[in-house]
């Protein structure tokens, strides 16, 4: 990770050094490739250049195809063989208010303006529908920024012919479309431009000079915003916050100042600022971000502070609390292990620059929040960092903290069981495992795209790819849903198989880290064998493509009874396996599978 | 600030934006002409102007930018703006 690219960054420096940053980032070998078409409503060269380095910084290597200048509509709404051949994973439409062609005029009646609004929206829908039918990829669409000038003054906001009014309405239509359509994501430049100031975001001089609809200085903010959306689509968003306590979650030092001395709650500007920060973190927790604490404190004082009557966060909001005097880097690694996630899914927040530096040095994969020494800046920096960007909020996200806590209960419970099998049985696990039947498409694609550990081949598919597998006779898409006496996990495993003349081939198999070592893989596989034999197939093929993160599955196929296929192409990383299903003995004996 | 210092600053910007590994390989003096640098295209141009504006906290007008043919012209505009 290049620290210069971590928010808050110096956009001028990024513009100046983008080429050398790129060279440095390309040294990282563990990159996933995605193809992005950038459709243009204005100059896009720098956007592409800067977006590339932000994506490289999170482990994504983009391959770009740049649309013709200003021709986003022509490039996207009509036959375009070049784009068909390119096979984009993502189409980004960089349009702006300068591209509106149905602008209201003061002489128009309100019906005429309404027609113009509909025409403008239909034009956009035309693009999106054509993309959907033709390219089967995700769409990232700019909404519209407000115009920098208002001939009607404040009346622009309410008058039917006001452009401000028009754009506000158009943006609502786009939001509504995004809400109803999959694989469609808004790049909210309406928000970004107002956050940075419309007057800075757009400069008429830049427009005249070089047809930039975003001033060069703000291109890095635009590109960063897009890279966060893409990160979230490819499972690169962070999952957990690791928080310090003293002077981070409250003002003062609990060990010295005591419970009555720390600053949290209503009382002083500083204590209110800490309260506000706790409230923001609580909001993150409620949408599925895991919270943990690493603090140099005695556990007893740490808990006393966390349970302060005026604080918003409570002990039960945290999935792990480390209050001790050992090295913070060690504590953080332990938390990652407990939560079964990688260091690169963690964000560390600490007011102490020495601790931040230590974590940066020892755990370079952990994102360290670049905070200032003013508590009132913390929220904005954490918020704008985009670490926890999400493309959707699933029910599983809302329940995530609960299920991690259930995991801890389970660990306690495990200690009382005699052996592991008995322990698994005592969990009273129940699973639903079946072929896809019209539910959970979001969750299925989320799992396929975001799972790094239990993932045999690391292939990434968009929800539209998965929809097409489901509709195709040549594929089987199967999912598993698990619960036990402590928690409901929802959909936690997905298998995608190609149907071959004699057998089936497992193209993709993923499982959530929350249910490792529970026997779920055996239950899934039993069911897969059943489906294959029902189709009259006699064998199952599997492949394993190792990655930096999936060592947990390196022996999976052997443990299921597959035989190694001697690989002809010894230069490739993949290992191929095969199994005849004629004498298959079912392997699951710990999970009750209920398939009606 | 002397003109020599301004030329050096422009030179440093150009080295970064053109991503030149060996700084000695680029010759840029007050007499250099922008069109002599093939990498100094319209996009690099805007980036260079943005960098200069940020470093000196100045703003060029659209008309001034149109006159940027020689380094000497840019230096002149910068010098007159930072004096005020």
pLDDT at A571: 54
DSSP line for A142-190: E--PPPS--TTGGGGGTSTT-HHHHHHHHHHHHHHHHHHSTTEEEE-HH
Task: Give the nearest chain B residue to A20 (CA atoms).
Answer: B19
CA dihedral angle for residue A49, residue A51, residue A54, residue A56, rounded to 10 degrees: -70
Task: Give the nearest chain B residue to A19 (CA atoms).
Answer: B19
User: Which DSSP letter does residue A553 get?
Assistant: G
Could you tell me if A408 lies within 8 Å of chain B, comparing CB atoms?
no
Interface contacts (A, B; CB < 8 Å): 39
pLDDT at A271: 95
A293-312 burial, b if ≥16 CB within 10 A, otherwise e? bbbbbeeebbebbbebeebb
A256 contacts A301 by C-beta, under 8 angstroms: no
Q: Which of A460, A444, A322, A467 is nearest to A392 (CA)?
A: A444
A274 contacts A264 by C-beta, under 8 angstroms: yes
Q: Which of A15, A22, A210, A221 to mutate to test the interface with B (most CBs of B within 10 A)?
A: A15
Distance CA B32, CA B80 (A): 20
Could you tell me if B46 lies within 8 Å of chain A, comparing CB atoms?
yes
Query: Among residues 6-35 of chain B, which lie with CB inside 8 Å of chain A?
Result: 13, 16-19
Q: Which of A9, A10, A12, A16 to mutate to test the interface with B (most CBs of B within 10 A)?
A: A16
Side by side, which strands form the sheet with A32-40?
A60-66, A32-40, A90-94, A138-142, A184-187
Helices (H) and strands (E) in chain B, counts: 4, 0
pLDDT at A89: 94
Tokens standing for residue A384? 């704008």
Cα A202 to Cα A72, A96, A149, A169, A219: the distances in Å are 20, 10, 11, 21, 11
Contacts of A318 (CB under 8 A, 6+ apart): A291, A292, A293, A306
Do B65 and A212 make contact, defined as CB atoms within 8 angstroms?
no
Query: Among residues 37-76 of chain A, which lie with CB inside 8 Å of chain B?
Result: 43, 45-46
CATH architecture of B3-83: Orthogonal Bundle (1.10)
Crossing angle between the packed helical segments A45-57 and B42-56, to the nearest 10 degrees = 70
pLDDT at A572: 65
Crossing angle between the packed helical segments B3-17 and B71-83, to the nearest 10 degrees = 120
Every domain of chain B and the residues it spans: 3-83
Tens-digit pLDDT string for chain B (84 aa): 789 999 999 999 999 999 999 988 899 999 999 999 999 998 899 999 999 999 999 999 999 999 999 999 999 999 999 987
Tokens standing for residue A319? 């999935």
Measured in whole angstroms, the distance separating CA A406 from the mean position of its chain's CA atoms is 24
Q: Which of A171, A39, A156 is nearest to A117 (CA)?
A: A171
pLDDT at B83: 82
Crossing angle between the packed helical segments A110-135 and A163-180, to the nearest 10 degrees = 30
Q: Please list every residue in chain A whose beta carbon sits closer than 8 Å to the beta carbon of residue B42.
A: 210
pLDDT at A68: 94
Distance CA A291, CA A494 (A): 27
Tokens standing for residue A209? 């000079």
pLDDT at A442: 81
> pLDDT tens for residues A30-64?
899 999 999 999 999 999 999 999 999 999 999 99
Tens-digit pLDDT string for chain A (596 aa): 788 999 999 999 999 999 999 999 999 888 999 999 999 999 999 999 999 999 999 999 999 999 999 999 999 999 999 999 999 999 999 999 999 999 999 999 999 999 999 999 999 999 999 999 999 899 999 999 999 999 999 999 999 999 999 999 999 999 999 999 989 999 999 999 999 999 999 999 999 999 999 999 999 999 999 999 999 999 899 999 999 999 999 999 999 999 999 999 998 999 999 999 999 999 999 999 999 999 999 999 999 999 999 999 999 999 999 999 999 999 999 999 988 899 999 999 999 999 999 999 999 999 999 998 899 999 999 999 999 999 887 777 777 777 777 777 777 677 666 678 888 888 889 999 999 877 788 888 888 988 888 999 999 888 788 888 998 999 999 999 999 888 888 899 999 999 999 999 999 999 998 888 889 999 999 999 999 999 999 999 999 998 888 888 989 999 899 999 876 555 567 889 999 998 898 999 999 998 76
Q: Which of A438, A446, A524, A519 is nearest to A481 (CA)?
A: A524
Could you tell me if A4 lies within 8 Å of chain B, comparing CB atoms?
no
Tokens standing for residue A272? 């209110």
Q: Which of B12, B22, B51 to mutate to test the interface with A (most CBs of A within 10 A)?
A: B51
pLDDT at A596: 64
* Closest CB from A15, A20, A208 relative to B50: A15
Distance CA B12, CA B18 (A): 10
CA atoms within 13 A on the CB side of A79: 1
Task: Give the nearest chain A residue to B53 (CA atoms).
Answer: A12
Place of tokens 């609004």: A117
Contacts of A97 (CB under 8 A, 6+ apart): A144, A145, A146, A147, A163, A167, A213
């Amino acid at each position: 990770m290049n620290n210069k690219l971590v928010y808050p960054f110096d956009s001028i420096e990024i513009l100046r050094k983008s080429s050398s940053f790129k060279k440095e980032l390309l040294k990282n070998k563990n990159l996933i490739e995605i193809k992005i078409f950038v459709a243009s409503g204005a100059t896009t060269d720098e956007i592409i250049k800067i977006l590339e380095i932000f994506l490289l910084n999170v482990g994504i290597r983009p391959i770009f195809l740049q649309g013709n200048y200003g021709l986003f509509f022509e490039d996207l709404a009509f036959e375009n063989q070049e784009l068909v051949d390119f096979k984009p994973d993502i189409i980004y439409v960089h349009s702006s208010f300068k591209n509106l062609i149905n602008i209201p005029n003061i002489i128009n009646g309100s019906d005429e303006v309404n027609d113009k609004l509909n025409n403008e929206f239909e034009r956009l829908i035309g693009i999106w529908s054509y993309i959907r039918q033709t390219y089967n990829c995700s769409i990232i669409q700019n909404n519209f920024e407000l115009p920098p000038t208002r001939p009607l003054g404040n009346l622009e906001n309410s008058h039917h012919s006001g452009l401000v009014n028009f754009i506000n309405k158009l943006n609502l239509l786009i939001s509504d479309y995004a809400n109803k359509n999959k694989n469609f994501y808004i790049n909210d430049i309406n928000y970004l431009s107002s956050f940075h100031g419309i007057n800075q975001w757009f400069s008429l001089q830049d427009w005249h000079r070089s047809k930039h609809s975003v001033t060069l200085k703000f291109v890095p903010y635009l590109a960063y915003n897009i890279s966060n959306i893409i990160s979230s689509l490819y499972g690169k968003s962070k999952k957990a916050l690791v928080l310090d306590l003293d002077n981070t979650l409250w003002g003062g030092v609990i060990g010295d100042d005591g419970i009555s001395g720390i600053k949290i709650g209503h009382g002083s500007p500083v204590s209110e600022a800490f309260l506000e920060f706790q409230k923001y973190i609580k909001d993150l927790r409620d949408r599925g971000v895991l919270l943990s604490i690493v603090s140099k404190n005695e556990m007893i004082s740490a808990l006393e502070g966390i349970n302060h009557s005026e604080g918003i966060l409570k002990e039960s909001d945290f999935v792990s609390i480390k209050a001790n005097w050992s090295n913070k880097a060690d504590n953080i690694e332990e938390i990652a292990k407990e939560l079964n996630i990688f260091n690169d899914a963690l964000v560390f927040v600490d007011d102490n620059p020495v601790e931040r530096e230590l974590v940066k040095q020892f755990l370079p994969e952990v994102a360290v929040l670049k905070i200032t020494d003013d508590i009132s800046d913390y929220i904005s920096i954490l918020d704008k960092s985009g670490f926890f960007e999400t493309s959707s909020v699933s029910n599983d996200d809302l329940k995530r903290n609960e299920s991690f806590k259930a995991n801890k209960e389970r660990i306690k419970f495990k200690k009382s069981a005699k052996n592991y099998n008995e322990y698994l049985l005592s969990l009273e696990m129940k699973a639903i495992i079946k072929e896809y039947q019209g539910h959970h498409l979001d969750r299925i694609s989320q799992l396929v795209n975001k799972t790094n550990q239990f993932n045999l081949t690391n292939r990434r598919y968009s929800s539209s790819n998965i929809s097409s597998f489901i509709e195709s006779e040549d594929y089987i898409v199967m999912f598993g849903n698990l619960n036990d006496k402590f928690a409901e996990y929802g959909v936690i495993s997905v298998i995608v198989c190609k149907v071959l003349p004699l057998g089936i081939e497992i193209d993709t198999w993923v499982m959530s880290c929350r249910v490792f070592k529970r026997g779920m893989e055996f239950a899934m596989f039993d069911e897969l064998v059943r489906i294959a034999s029902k189709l009259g197939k006699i064998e199952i093929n599997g492949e394993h493509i190792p990655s930096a993160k999936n060592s947990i599955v390196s022996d999976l196929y052997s443990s299921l009874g597959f035989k190694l296929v001697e690989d002809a192409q010894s230069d490739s990383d993949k290992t191929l396996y095969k199994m005849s299903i004629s004498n298959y003995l079912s392997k699951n004996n710990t999970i009750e599978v209920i398939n009606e | 600030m002397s003109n020599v210092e301004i030329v050096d600053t422009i030179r440093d910007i150009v080295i970064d934006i053109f991503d030149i590994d060996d700084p000695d390989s680029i010759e840029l003096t007050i007499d250099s002409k922008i069109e002599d640098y093939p990498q100094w295209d319209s996009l690099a141009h805007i980036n260079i102007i943005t960098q200069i504006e940020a470093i000196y906290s100045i703003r060029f007008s659209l008309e001034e930018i149109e006159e940027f043919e020689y380094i000497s012209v840019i230096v002149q505009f910068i010098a007159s703006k930072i004096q005020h």
